[in-house]
Amino acid sequence: MHSGAYQQSNLFAGAMNKIWLSVLIATLGLAPLSAWPNPRGPAPLHDFDAYVRHAMKIWRVPGLAIAIVDNDHIVMEKGFGVRTVGSPEKVDEHTLFGIASDSKAFTTVALGILKDRGELDWDDHVTQYLKGFQLYDPYPTREVTIRDLLTHQTGDCGADFLWYGNRNTSAEIIQKLRLLKPRYGFRRRYCYSNNMVMAAGQIIPAITGVQWGTFVEQNIFKPLAMIASNTSITEFKPDGDIATPHAEVDGKIAAIHWANVDNVGPAAAINSNADDMAHWIEMLLNDGTYEGRRVVSAAVIREMESPQVVIPSDLENGAGEIINSFPPALSPAYGLTLRTEDFRGVRIDWHAGSIDGMGSVVGLIPSRHLGVAILANKDDTNLPIALMDVIFNDYIGAPHIDWGARLLALMGKVQADKKQADAEHQISRQPNPQPSLPLADYAGTYSDPLYGHAAVSLSNGHLVLTRGSEFVGDLEPWNHDTFRVTWRYRFLGHDFVQFGLSPAGSADMLYFLRGEGYPPEMTLQRGTDGGTGSSKD
């Protein structure tokens, strides 16, 4: 995942794959490379508008906005396409998009402002500020620092089921971290966690008494004149200039719900537009100043952009799948919520974001004093990343490579592999599968202290699974005690669950499967007290 609210264990495998910023799945027709306009010309971004419009058509992206800052000048601030499929309202530089994981750098700057005031240090222990903070093991609980949270080195990663489509508050998520078994040893490797960056954001109110969103608005948005940006979709104004999230649903591009991610706000909740993001880029390129006013120290910006931890070449997303960097990077590393790496001989700092129906990227070439922000209203699209690569390639004068076509081809291969795996899974299904028990015997409440509750009920002759308001799905017998879930909110797609039987033959466990060959993503035990079940499965 490429990094984002993008990398990100899954709530349900199919649904949560829509969060990870990696080479994600999309059903896309491939254009021949020669069909793409060449943006290279006698000046940077020659014919670039035509390239963008063609790319949007091929990638099936309804709307997109771009800001480019070159040597303190905004050289592009423009919208393309429409806010909503089927409606005439155009995207412009003021159209709001969700920036998802590009929110993380705002949290780092907010913490940096407190560091400049002498109220914290990056290597302070987290428990110094969050008294109830506890990880699975005592050693990392005692030693974990703010730096560890911002560089994804706690050993905990994924676990987005704690916030995505979940009513857990930020405080409840932090409380549950003590039940989450780490995937890796403490400080052993980079492992992306939205939850840990959220926890870092909670240090702000612990010190100041001011909530994260309010602090960001007062200390970042206001001095940067980011007048339209906000930290929650609840702040949207009726009839505002707001992009609608879209996704491919049953083969068609359709509008979907805005995801409320306030419970993980410091990691993913900011909404902004091209105009405001240009101001943000200017501040980063000017080492913490904007129009002569210092927002944060140059030392904080340098720390954000300095390599802190190597990003492994065998990086996994939250579903345990290996993902690849694009374009292939030399010495990829992670700073404080910014990725830093070599791009064709030039150092770039960047991060991307992905949440339901929205995708974004922010990229910087500090030595060139060049920065870009690209926002899109389409789910699972890496088009912003491809366009960033095209812009950087053009400005540094490197030989032309059509990054858009290359990435699209790579995604096409991923899609083909997924279709093959789905076909093989379909072949493995037994004809006329019959569950081990009468359907009514599977009905009940299943729970776990970490994962929460799920209810299985019998309705009109079939089983219905409910976990929260969004995750309501119809169960279809698949093989023995395995059922396929078709979520009624069609954006979420399909998943698989399996019931475990006790020695007496009754259904007493519910497993949420992440895929063949993987251990269950979640294990819930039957009961109604909410306190049964092993949190270490």
Average pLDDT along the chain, 537 residues, taken 10 residues at a time:
34 40 30 41 76 94 98 96 97 98 98 98 98 96 98 95 93 97 96 97 98 98 98 96 96 96 98 98 98 97 97 57 50 93 93 97 97 96 92 89 76 75 72 92 96 95 92 95 95 94 96 70 76 33
Distance, in Å, from the CA atom of 25 to the CA atom of 515, rounded to the nearest integer, reads: 15
Which one, of 459, 428, 427, lies nearest residue 442 by Cα? 459
Please give the Cα distance from 330 to 312 (Å, whole number).
Answer: 11
Q: What SS3 string covers 385-435? A: HHHHHHHHHHHCCCCCCCHHHHHHHHHHHHHHHHHHHHHHHHHCCCCCCCC
Burial class (CB in 10 A: 0-12, 13-18, 19+), 468: middle
Q: What is the pTM of this model?
A: 0.88
Among the listed residues 374, 371, 349, 109, the one whose alpha carbon sits nearest the alpha carbon of residue 221:
109
Residue keyed to tokens 């599968």: 433
- In this prediction, residue 341 carries a pLDDT of 93
- The CA distance from 191 to 159, in Å, is 11
Q: Angle at Cα 223 formed by Cα 220 and Cα 227, nearest 5°?
A: 85
Question: Tokens 């006790």 — which residue?
Answer: 502
Provide the residue type at 122 as one letter: W
Q: How far apart are CA 346 and CA 397, in angstroms?
A: 11
* Angle at alpha carbon of residue 251, lines to 490 and 88, rounded to 5°: 90
Residue with tokens 């995604």: 411
- Least Cα distance to 98 among 116, 117, 83, 109 occurs for 83
User: How far out from the chain centre does Cα 230 lie?
Assistant: 18
- Are 206 and 167 in contact by the 8 Å Cβ rule? The answer is no
The whole-angstrom separation of Cα 341 and Cα 379 is 26
Cα–Cα separations (whole angstroms), residue 292 to 127, 206, 226:
37, 31, 16
DSSP state at residue 257: P
Site of tokens 């949007």: 56
CA distance 518 to 191: 18
Q: Quote the CA–CA distance of 97 and 241 in Å, as a whole number.
A: 9
- In angstroms, the CA 372 to CA 76 distance is 9
pLDDT given at position 29: 29
